[in-house]
Amino acid sequence: MVIILTGINHKYTENIPRILDNSIQSIGNTPLINLSEFSLHSKVKIYAKLESINPTGSIKDRAAKSLILDAEKSGLLRPGGTILEPTSGNTGLGIAMIGKQRGYKVKVVMPANVPPERIQLLEAFGAEVIFSAADKGTNESILLAKEISKDNPDYYMPYQYGNESNPKAHYLTTGPEIIRDLPNVNVFIAGLGTGGTLMGVGRSLKEYDPKIKIVATAPHPDDKVQGLRAIEDGYIPPILDLNSLDARILIEAEEAFYWTRKLLTDAGIFVGVSSGATFATAIKLTEKLSKNNLESNIVVIFADGGWKYLSTGIYAENYTFKQSEIEGKTWW
């Protein structure tokens, strides 16, 4: 049986197959977890989309699949070719996993200070890791990858930051899954990274219901939260249209760490730091939404699992912070 949702041109099979031919086919169709027990107000419900169940443990498997398959279809990526990509880790892992299965060599450029778990898994998939300066973040990784690409024109660089196949993955899969599972969604929250998730899901949800709010979680400019990008750093990915966002909420690192650990200890959900940040955003928004005295449903992206951050030691710490109000300056 095929279901077609009004207002959106995607098709869904009602029964998801349980036997698959390979791990690539298992990407997507992740569950929503009801975490409304943490909401500050009973009329505001919070649901988390658990992306850690993807093959390499993150939402970036969706983008990696789209980037590679689209490149194959267009002829940009040929059998036995080499893929080069700048990454903070998760997209690189997805590309390495898929690339290994489809016969490509994979080279990733990433900051030298990323957690060692990511490096170990990338190398396990057979990828070559090229390090950029540790203190300059992924912006430096992008510059270095572009230099390498110029010197090696036979390499294919998907360039997740500027490739429309990135948001396309979420427009065709992540957004429709949310609509299918929670048709009365009111607010969508995701971390501000490449912009792929926010743009793709945002477009999908807005087509379904223009009243749905799209909210970006970002770190304070003087804070570092793994997997998130501050636009104040000076680089805005080409696929990111800031005008498409309804709001941007700045989250302090301490808040992200607090909720990352609390989700583990109180809900049994082992997620990465960016998920703690997006959940902190959801908690803040429950206060704002409750003032309307209307029932609201928030969907927040839990982008990856926590095992890639174990070496940071954050899961063994007890964090405390004072619940802060949403600062007016963070709203557009």
Query: Could you list the active site residues?
Result: 60, 274
Determine the Cα–Cα distance for residues 68 and 156; give it in Å rounded to an integer.
10
Alpha helices (H) in the chain, listed in sequence order: 60-74, 90-102, 116-124, 137-151, 165-169, 175-181, 196-208, 253-267, 273-290
Determine the Cα–Cα distance for residues 208 and 60; give it in Å rounded to an integer.
24
Beta strands 105-111 and 128-132 are parallel
DSSP character for 219? E
Determine the Cα–Cα distance for residues 273 and 225; give it in Å rounded to an integer.
7
Q: Which residue in 139, 88, 80 sits closest to 106, CA to CA?
A: 80
Under 8 Å between Cβ of 190 and 254: no
**Max intra-chain CA distance, the chain:** 59
Complete DSSP assignment for 169-188: HIIIIIHHHHHHH-TT--EE
The 82-86 sheet, strands edge to edge: 82-86, 105-111, 128-132
Determine the Cα–Cα distance for residues 245 and 46; give it in Å rounded to an integer.
20
Under 8 Å between Cβ of 256 and 274: yes
Q: Which residue in 258, 263, 271 sits closest to 324, CA to CA?
A: 258
3-state class of 76 per DSSP? coil
Determine the Cα–Cα distance for residues 39 and 41; give it in Å rounded to an integer.
5
Amino acid at 99: G
